[in-house]
A = this chain, B = another copy of it.
């Protein structure tokens, strides 16, 4: 059998619904729509130039993702996040990411390692350029590569979704000076452990990274009663 994989036609978001889904999700993750903010359907329709049918389906999807919460008798709003929730999310990520990093360290190939290195470089470039969007993309690509190499796409779906909810914190971190500076450093540690094919080291580096991130979130969420944001 010949290899037709190169003929595969990508499936870019083609329907209005898929386009709108991406836009609204990105707007929430980027903090353009802030946690707690009401998302009035007709307003979104006008902003995006689509019908309520489309917007409502998008809302249902994001509700199921946990980025939107629907308040009974009131309607949809951007989800809020409190410390208890954030703590649990970091804990779950720590379990899944450390496991994936360990598996990745055992099975990574030369080309996978190259992919990982590129993501890391993009991250470091973005960090120097103070480009938050590029940093986010590079971080996502880095972890996605780890999970893909480890053959754990289900776990990646979960982590990716959890990351969306964690991003609801970002708008708060901008207000404070608490930005994490150590992130890229820790990710290089993870990379080095994987490159050295040291599963135990890789897992430990993941856990350390997330423990630090979690600590920063705790400071933000418990101090000035940012609580339910």
| Inter-chain contacts of A158 with B (CB < 8 A) | 92, 158
Residues of A near any B CB (own CB < 8 A): 11, 14, 53, 56-58, 60-61, 63-65, 72, 84-85, 88-89, 91-92, 95-96, 99, 151-155, 158, 162
| Inter-chain contacts of A162 with B (CB < 8 A) | 154
Chain A to chain B contacts (Cβ below 8 Å), 26 pairs: A11-B72, A14-B72, A53-B53, A53-B56, A56-B57, A57-B57, A57-B60, A58-B60, A60-B60, A60-B64, A61-B61, A61-B63, A61-B64, A84-B151, A88-B152, A88-B155, A89-B154, A91-B152, A91-B155, A92-B96, A92-B154, A92-B155, A92-B158, A95-B95, A95-B96, A158-B158
| Inter-chain contacts of A14 with B (CB < 8 A) | 72
- With both beta carbons as reference points, the residue of chain B lying nearest to A15 in the complex is identified as B72
Interface centre among A92, A153, A155, A162 (most CB of B within 10 A): A92
Is B88 in contact with A154, judged by CB distance below 8 angstroms?
Answer: yes
Known A88-B151, A88-B152, A89-B154; 20 more pairs at CB < 8 Å: A11-B72, A14-B72, A56-B57, A57-B57, A57-B60, A58-B60, A61-B63, A64-B64, A84-B151, A85-B154, A88-B153, A88-B154, A88-B155, A91-B155, A92-B96, A92-B154, A92-B155, A95-B95, A95-B99, A158-B158
Nearest 5 A/B pairs, CB to CB = A64-B64, A88-B154, A60-B60, A57-B60, A60-B61
| Inter-chain contacts of A60 with B (CB < 8 A) | 57-58, 60-61, 64
**How far is B85's CA from A60's CA once the two chains are assembled, in angstroms?**
25
CB A23 to nearest CB in B, in angstroms, measures: 16
